[in-house]
Amino acid sequence: MLDVVFRQGKVSRANIARELGLTRSTASSIVASLTEEGLLVEDNSEDDKSAGTGRPGTFVRLNSNYGVFIGADIGVGRLTVVALDMEARVVAQSQSNFDLADADPESIIQQLVRTVKSLIKSLSQKHTVRGLCLTAPGVIDRTGTILRAPILGWRQEPILDKLEKVLPEDLLLAAENDANAFAMAEMYRSKDESTDTEIYIFLDAGVGGAIVNSGQLLHGQDGYAGELGHIILGDEGFVELATISGSFESFIGREAVLARYRFHGGSASNIDEFASAARRQERAALSTLTDWSFYLGRGVATLTSIFNPARIVLGGPVAMLYDLCRDQVMANVRQNLLDEHPIPEIRLSKLGPEGPAIGGASMLHKRMLSVNEELIYRRNRTSSGR
């Protein structure tokens, strides 16, 4: 019932009954219980014109103050923290930078905790903070240990155990890979219960991925599914990374783009500068885009051959380059597929760098809609994002 109310924004008891196949009296009884618990509130702003015959009903909606869910993303050189209310609206957000060369876990945790505590302090006293989901660019096991995050230089880092010692005791903690969290943010934003197979690619310094089928993330046997950035597209990429030579991310990640731009004679310190040069039709930038679109197209074709997805969603700071060479990418996708093979829709996410943090918070919100006792009664504090 909470899920129905969330997806419709506000809805009458009559339409809840119709949506769930319940009698009106049963729906009203459940609504009364959830209202008593504080999860739902009456909305008398207008009558429900679609409630059918009989006396018009009033709407109910989620109580936005019932819970706040924190998403905290350790990105590549930046920390992003967001807070979502019970209606999954962003009510607070903070971002700060850090030097990737000095990204030792202890200093990053200290900075993250300061940011989280400051953000919580800024919230209204009406809000109850239910939990925090940490996201990071690496493989995270079910205990909240970052098994490896090559871009950060971290291995076997028990991140949740360390956070548990310095954050409030009644805060449920969870952890998730940043690309999986980005995928959740996209799905949650659309409120779409798709039955399709979808692939999400998060392009930053590295390249993360998530595979979704019927609205469920595919984690694999040991949590390693979706490591799309590590598929091999050639013998040697455009840049040396801490991962496998010739990997997808060594051709299309941020450092790969800037390295290829230097190879063609250009110079840019970040992706925004490179994109500006490409918009000016600078020759070195256009040559770089040609190379980038070739390998993005080849990678997308490889994934299409394996998963036959309905759509592929590109997100992250580097994804904006797709708009500058969309036709080239699609031509390269076709070139690397057999004739008549279905080509997925390729969509550019509207989410910015805050996407993984929003996704982490959304995962906790999704648990609340299932009336998860951990979030309501604060049991079993530490948990993975899975």
Residue 309 lies in a domain: yes
Residue 143, pLDDT score: 87
Dmax over CA atoms of the chain, in Å, equals: 74
Give the residues across from 12 on adjacent strands: 59
Residues 372, 319 within the same domain:
no
- Euclidean distance between CA atoms 164 and 167, whole angstroms: 6
Residue 250 lies in a domain: yes
Residues 213, 321 within the same domain:
yes
Residues 212, 312 within the same domain:
yes
In this prediction, residues 262-281 reach a mean pLDDT of 96
- Is 60 exceeded by the pLDDT of residue 383? no
Higher pLDDT, 70 or 220: 70
pLDDT tens digits, residue range 364-381? 998 888 765 555 544 444
Residues 176, 33 within the same domain:
no
Which range is most confident: 6-15, 149-158, 335-344?
335-344
Residue 171, pLDDT score: 82
DSSP H helices, the chain, are: 2-8, 13-20, 24-36, 105-122, 159-164, 178-190, 249-252, 254-263, 271-279, 283-307, 326-335, 355-369, 373-377
CB 361 within 8 A of CB 76: no
Residue 213, pLDDT score: 87
Strands 172-177, 154-157: pairing is unpaired
Residues 153, 199 within the same domain:
no
Residue 382, pLDDT score: 46
pLDDT tens digits, residue range 25-36? 999 999 999 999
Residues 225, 311 within the same domain:
yes
Residues 214, 125 within the same domain:
no
Please count the other Cβ atoms lying within 10 Å of the Cβ belonging to residue 280: 9
Residue 154 lies in a domain: yes
> What confidence tier does 113 reach under pLDDT thresholds 50, 70, 90?
very high
Residue 383 lies in a domain: no
DSSP code for 378: -
- Is 90 exceeded by the pLDDT of residue 127? no
Domain residue limits at 201: 192-348
Q: What is the mean pLDDT of the chain?
A: 87
Helix, strand, or coil (residue 99): coil
Residues 22, 88 within the same domain:
no
pTM: 0.83
Q: What is the domain-level CATH number for residue 269?
A: 3.30.420.40
Residue listed under structure tokens 């799309």: 228
Q: Per mean pLDDT, which range of 76-80, 145-149, 213-217, 229-233 is the poorest?
A: 213-217
Q: How many domains is the chain built from?
A: 3
Higher pLDDT, 303 or 221: 303
| Amino acid symbol at 6 | F
Residue 382 lies in a domain: no
| Amino acid symbol at 107 | S
In this prediction, residues 57-86 reach a mean pLDDT of 91
Residue 63 lies in a domain: no
Residues 216, 342 within the same domain:
yes
> What confidence tier does 80 reach under pLDDT thresholds 50, 70, 90?
very high
Residue 54 lies in a domain: no
- Is 60 exceeded by the pLDDT of residue 324? yes
CB 366 within 8 A of CB 188: yes
Residues 199, 301 within the same domain:
yes
Residue 120 lies in a domain: yes
- Is 80 exceeded by the pLDDT of residue 44? no
Q: Is 54 left (phi over 0), alpha (psi -120 to 50) or beta?
A: left
In this prediction, residues 122-128 reach a mean pLDDT of 82
pLDDT tens digits, residue range 286-311? 999 999 999 999 999 999 999 999 99
Residue 372, pLDDT score: 57
Residues 198, 343 within the same domain:
yes
Residue 373, pLDDT score: 54
pLDDT tens digits, residue range 186-202? 988 776 666 689 999 99
Residues 102, 203 within the same domain:
no
CB 74 within 8 A of CB 362: no
